[in-house]
A and B are shown apart, each in its own frame.
Chain A
Amino acid sequence: MTAAAPIAGNAPARSRGIGALLAGRRESAPALVILAVLLIVDLWLNRAWMLPGSWGTVIGLAGPTMAAAIASMPAIMAGRGGIDVSIGPLMGFINIILVKVLAGDMGIDQPWVLVPVALAIGALVGLFNGLLSAVLRIQPIVATLGTYLVLSGVTLTLLPAPEGAAPAWLKALAGPYSIVPLAGMATVWLLAKRLTVYDWLMACGSDDRACFTAGIPVTGVRVFAYTLGGLFAGAGGLLLSALLGSADPNVGPTFTLVAISGVALGGVSLAGGRGGFAAAALGAAVIFLLQSTLTYFNVSSFLLHTLYGVILVASVSLNALTGRVAGGPR
């Protein structure tokens, strides 16, 4: 029996300040340190970043990476090997639909059409992935790899080479208004956190068998996780279109690997049940800063991919190690 237990009747104390931010976020600590270091380096290299006027652009540059990581997070958190590798191609597909098909071919470029379309496509594809992996119980990595291939194939069929121009309001999402989609995603997440389904999501990631004896509708919760991820990928598609300013069939798929590395680096457990919006966004921000630092020093983009792989393996190992050292569960 553990002895160090204070007297009953002691109201549950809440740690405040920095302690509260980091409470239960031991896994995010390494990413936070790296973020601080890289931020200092980058601000020194690109002194223009310090001007408030350029913050929108910087966030716009980081936006697609961050959105991709945040979109990958719910499926991973739901546990049992949940993962959605189709997030990257999905963002690319949405980019083509918005800029090439709707704005280019059909001449529809109003925000109240394009934004709902982007979110709806994202949520629908997410739902489809959820049905494949949670209801039909196909291994998530295989099911979503199928979606990955289908989406990238369709994207290249619709548009073999980059072309087109995004409407001006959309481009502004990579400039002065780049915070809007990210803030929207954060709001959705904060609302979801106050719903029953969020606790169920954490429970599913924590322990399958305990879910069974607590009567949690595991399948429904997992479908929800993929759908929410898809919705976030919809916002990611908007940010990607904004940043590119055109329709490009080739960039989407590259975000999958970046996103998963970012999620792992931010401290989201790939086994599920640990992490969240802030962790995913943090990991993606670190990856983005690393990218821009290395680009500044003219490091080859091929080497960048090697780096993502190293980050992925290193952060997963680190997570496992800190868990073991702290005597945490499994």
Chain B
Amino acid sequence: MPSEPALRVEGVSLAHNTPGLDERVHAGEIVGLAGLDGHGQDAFLETLAGLRAPVAGRILVRSGSAGYVEIDDFRHATRLGIAYLARDRRANGIFPSLSILDNFSMVTLGRDRRFGLISPRARRERFERYRERLSIVAPGGNKPITALSGGNQQKVLLARWLAREPRILLLNDPTRGVDQRTRETLYQAFRDLARQEGMALVVLSSELEEIFRLCDRLLVFREQGVVASFSGADMNSSTVIAAMFGRVA
């Protein structure tokens, strides 16, 4: 693993009177976040994305030329190479009245520009590439996104962010309401992104099985802080559940 982490978390507190967190996420690594709902893992992921300002501390992203840069807000974070796939795609992800193509291209609109104007053809071609890569089953790009199944909607949203070629991918419960077969495709995609493209992934999941299958390392949250960190053989349901309920030393 390279010595320079892709993401550095320095003394970040998620609430008042909680100890600051220090974490490092390396390129090619998949880090899991778990905990009982509302114990801070959600807030932590949103803080990494710049959607929520930490009470204290800072998030630093390695940026090619400038060394480490502190993120200010979400738009700034996305410019630094962070992508965030939000929880609950119906409320926070898809644009229900827009087409599949529009939903796909929403964060990379500028890339389809030809002589200053957006070319529908370039957009279709770009979508085709991701459609094949993520095996999205879609009747045609001009159909409304709501014509797709939940799993395929989620794949379109993933494609939306992958099109930005991020270096850090933050996933907030990415397989919620997704069927088993699509899950397998997504898991494979996530692993490939980390192993082959050297992307750093942080995955919040409400299913431990998913975390065990995907993650190299797991942070368990309790009362707005990390109570335990697992990796390798230590990471199994009994140790993790015990940590989630606060029964570890």
**Interface set of A (CB-CB < 8 Å, partner B):** 1-2, 4-6, 8-14, 23-24, 191, 194-196, 199-200, 202-203, 205-207, 209-210, 212-217, 269, 273-274, 328-330
Contacts and interface: CB of A to CB of B under 8 A. Distances in A.
A274 B117 contact: no
A5 B147 CA distance: 9
Interface stretch (B5-13, B54-62, B100-108): B100-108
Given A196-B118, A329-B146, A274 B74 contact: no
B168 interface: no
B107 to A, nearest CB: 5
How many chain B residues sit at the interface, stated as a range, is 35 or more
A1 B118 contact: no
B166 interface: no
Contacts of B105: 199
B190 interface: no
Nearest to B46: A213
Interface of B: 51, 74-75, 78, 84, 86, 91-99, 101-102, 105-107, 109-110, 113, 117-118, 124, 128, 131-132, 135-142, 144, 146-152, 160, 179
What secondary structure prevails in chain B residues at the interface with A?
Answer: mixed
Given A5-B137, A196-B118, A12 B78 contact: no
Contacts of A207: 94-96
Given A199-B109, A214-B106, A5 B138 contact: yes
Contact of B94 (A194, A210, A269): A210
14 contacts: A2-B148, A5-B139, A12-B140, A12-B142, A23-B142, A194-B117, A195-B117, A196-B109, A199-B106, A199-B118, A203-B98, A205-B97, A212-B51, A213-B51
Contacts of A1: 149-151, 179
A2 B132 contact: no
Contact of A209 (B74, B92, B131): B92
Contacts of A273: 95, 97-98
Q: Which 7 A-B pairs have the closest CB atoms?
A: A329-B96, A194-B117, A12-B140, A206-B95, A1-B149, A213-B86, A196-B109
